[in-house]
């Protein structure tokens, strides 16, 4: 089996990241720092994997983060709504203080790990997000030949520029991880999955997480 690689990049810092507001599928735009992060991660990844295919969430913060990488590689960025962040319903745009003041009980339940509470505000539950994101990662890794992502083709490396929640819950869904074992993802961090790579255990064709939330390239 040939080695296949999926590199997951969280978008650059946004205005609402700084303001600590829930973004979901709304967009506030990258900050100057976020644009600099996008340029840096794009340059590093273009040098590291010059033959990569690039796929990104179609939300503006991911389009803008992926653009320098696409330009550096000289390739088209494929935009896919399946890679969007979780929909947070009516919570989108609210700060943590506003959540405590306006919907405190639900917010506390969510923070305590009740992933189903988002359905009550018109958002996606943890289970829905895991299925969506985990399925997208399977397609990008071509784990099921009949549902491989159309952008992948014969590429052995795919870079997907997406969102923190999408990466987190996609990994949980794809790998069956305990979510308590994963931390938060930083802006423009790099996470890497491999299929078919040599390792200490026999290769059964399952993806392996070999890099999580790497940020050294931003220093």
Q: Is 149 one of the catalytic residues?
A: no
Residues 116, 97, single domain; the answer is yes
Can you give the pLDDT at residue 203?
64
**HSE value, Cβ hemisphere, 13 Å, CA-based, for 165:** 20
User: Model confidence at 1, in pLDDT bands (50, 70, 90)?
Assistant: low
Residues 156, 180, single domain; the answer is yes
pLDDT per position as a tens digit, 69-103:
999 999 999 999 999 999 999 999 999 999 999 99
Mean pLDDT score, 9-35: 96
Q: Is the pLDDT of residue 210 over 60?
A: yes
pLDDT per position as a tens digit, 57-78:
999 999 999 999 999 999 999 9
Residues 111, 175, single domain; the answer is no
Residues 102, 205, single domain; the answer is no
Residues 82, 68, single domain; the answer is yes
HEC per residue, 91-152: HCCCEHHHHHHHHHHHHHHHHCCCCCHHHHHCCCCHHHHHHHHHHHHHHHCCCCHHHCCCCC
pLDDT per position as a tens digit, 126-150:
999 999 999 999 999 999 877 778 8
| Burial status of residue 21 (CB atoms within 10 A of its CB: 0-12, 13-18, 19 or more) | buried
Residues 55, 131, single domain; the answer is yes
Can you give the pLDDT at residue 19?
94
Q: Is 85 one of the catalytic residues?
A: yes
Residues 59, 158, single domain; the answer is yes
Residues 169, 206, single domain; the answer is yes
Confirm if 75 and 33 have CB atoms less than 8 A apart: no
User: Model confidence at 35, in pLDDT bands (50, 70, 90)?
Assistant: very high
Boundary of a domain, candidates 77, 108, 123? 123
Rounded Cα gap, residues 175 and 208, in angstroms: 8
Q: Is the pLDDT of residue 111 over 60?
A: yes
Which of 13, 85, 92, 124 is flagged as catalytic?
Answer: 85
Provide the number of structural domains found in the chain: 2
Can you give the pLDDT at residue 200?
64
pLDDT per position as a tens digit, 160-203:
999 999 999 999 999 999 888 889 999 999 999 999 877 666 56
Can you give the pLDDT at residue 144?
84
Residues 183, 103, single domain; the answer is no
Residues 150, 202, single domain; the answer is yes
* DSSP structure class, residue 76: P
Residues 65, 98, single domain; the answer is no
By residue range, what is the domain housing residue 153?
A: 4-86+126-218
Q: Residue 79 maps to which CATH number?
A: 3.40.50.1240
Boundary of a domain, candidates 123, 141, 172? 123
Residues 102, 198, single domain; the answer is no
């Amino acid at each position: 089996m040939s080695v296949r690689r999926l590199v997951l990049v969280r978008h650059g810092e946004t205005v609402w990241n700084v303001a600590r507001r829930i973004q979901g599928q709304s967009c506030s735009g990258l900050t100057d720092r976020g644009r600099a992060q996008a340029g840096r991660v794009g340059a590093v990844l273009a040098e590291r994997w010059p033959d990569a295919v690039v796929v990104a969430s179609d939300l503006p913060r991911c389009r803008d983060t992926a653009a320098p990488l696409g330009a550096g590689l000289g390739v088209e960025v494929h935009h896919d709504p399946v890679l969007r962040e979780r929909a947070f319903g009516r919570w989108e745009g609210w700060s943590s203080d506003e959540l405590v003041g306006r919907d405190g009980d639900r917010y506390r339940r969510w923070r305590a790990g009740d992933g189903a509470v988002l359905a009550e505000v018109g958002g996606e539950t943890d289970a829905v997000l895991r299925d969506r994101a985990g399925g997208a990662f399977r397609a990008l890794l071509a784990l099921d030949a009949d549902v491989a992502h159309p952008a992948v083709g014969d590429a052995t490396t795919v870079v997907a520029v997406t969102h923190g929640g999408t990466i987190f819950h996609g990994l949980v869904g794809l790998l069956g991880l305990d979510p308590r074992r994963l931390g938060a993802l930083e802006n423009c961090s790099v996470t890497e999955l491999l299929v078919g790579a040599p390792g200490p255990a026999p290769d059964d064709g399952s993806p392996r997480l070999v890099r999580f939330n790497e940020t050294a390239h931003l220093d």
